[in-house]
Each structure stands twice: as C-alpha cells, then as structure tokens.
C-alpha cells in the first residue's frame, strides 16, 4: 500500500501502527480521534496526576498532548518522521477535569522538513495553547520498523 494508492488509508494504517506501541499516550489517556494526510486530532482529559505545583495542568503534559497530535500528523504519509523541535505558547490555564482537544495541521513540507501548527482547546472551545512543530523525515522506513 503506497501513499499514492490511498493517502487516507495510509494515514489510518500509520496511526494504528504507531498508537499500538505509544505507551506514553496510552498512559495519559490520549486518544487519536481523527487522522488524515497531514492532519491529526488528539484528546486528553486532565487527571489529578497531571496537575503541577499550582494546581493547574502541567504545561509539559499539555505539550505532550499537542506533540502527540503533531507526531501522528507528520507520520500520516507512512514515512518515519521525528520531531526536531517545537515552539509552545500557553495562553490560558488548564484545570482538573478539563477535556482538551489538540488539532494538528500541516503548514509546509519541503525536503525532509515539515512544519505543523497545533491548536489546543478546552471543552468550551477556548484556545489554551499553541504549538508549532518542526519535523524531520528519516530515510523512508515505515513506522512499524522504527
């Protein structure tokens, strides 16, 4: 099954393969609720063991949710792609029991580099964080072989 053959099917296979062994996302209750070429949406509900010393959701875990959406989006073409880095901005506090949705959208793909914008919203639709992810494609190995 190649990308050209059926991009949507390719994205779904990459998601299934990655999620199966993504123990970190599983442990945090992160689910991939949508996937398509260059796009992914992930959700997470804030638990007590996700709070920081100020009683808010730890920014690192909001970032982990966003990073997961980014990872599934940039691997949706079936070629092993890793995060080279990202820029995260926190614009509103996240509280216990908040239901977060992170939507990753591809902005650019050229050579081995890709750029993805992730917006994280709470259950009221308010933006709580932005993440701009930079991906680097490895030598075409399928995720399963990584």
Kindly state whether residue 132 participates in binding a second copy, applying the rule CB under 8 A: yes
Task: Round to whole Å and give the CA distance between 100 and 45.
Answer: 6
Tally of CB atoms within 10 A around 131 = 23
Q: Looking at beta carbons only, is 7 or 59 nearer to a second copy? A: 59
DSSP state of 55: S
User: Judged by CB under 8 A, does residue 64 bind a second copy?
Assistant: yes
Using CB under 8 A as the binding rule, whether residue 82 contacts a second copy is answered as yes
Please report where in the chains the tokens 């709470």 appear, as a residue: 122
Residue 17: closest CA among 88, 72, 96:
72
Q: Which is nearer to a second copy, 1 or 48 (CB)?
A: 48
Binding residues vs a second copy (CB under 8 A): 17-27, 48-55, 57-61, 63-68, 71, 75, 80, 82-93, 107-108, 110-113, 115, 127, 130, 132, 134, 136, 143, 146
């Amino acid at each position: 099954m190649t990308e050209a053959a059926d991009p949507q099917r390719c994205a779904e296979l990459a998601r299934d393969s990655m999620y199966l062994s993504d123990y970190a996302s599983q442990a945090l209750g992160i689910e991939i609720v949508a996937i398509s070429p260059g796009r992914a949406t992930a959700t997470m509900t804030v638990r007590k063991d996700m709070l920081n010393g100020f009683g808010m959701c730890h920014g690192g875990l909001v970032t982990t949710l966003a990073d997961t959406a980014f990872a599934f989006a940039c691997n949706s073409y079936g070629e092993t792609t890793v995060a080279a880095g990202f820029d995260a901005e926190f614009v509103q506090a996240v509280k216990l029991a908040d239901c977060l949705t992170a939507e990753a959208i591809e902005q650019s793909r050229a050579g081995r580099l890709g750029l993805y914008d992730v917006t994280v919203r709470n259950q009221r639709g308010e933006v709580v964080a932005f993440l701009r992810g930079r991906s680097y494609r490895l030598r075409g190995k399928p995720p399963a072989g990584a």
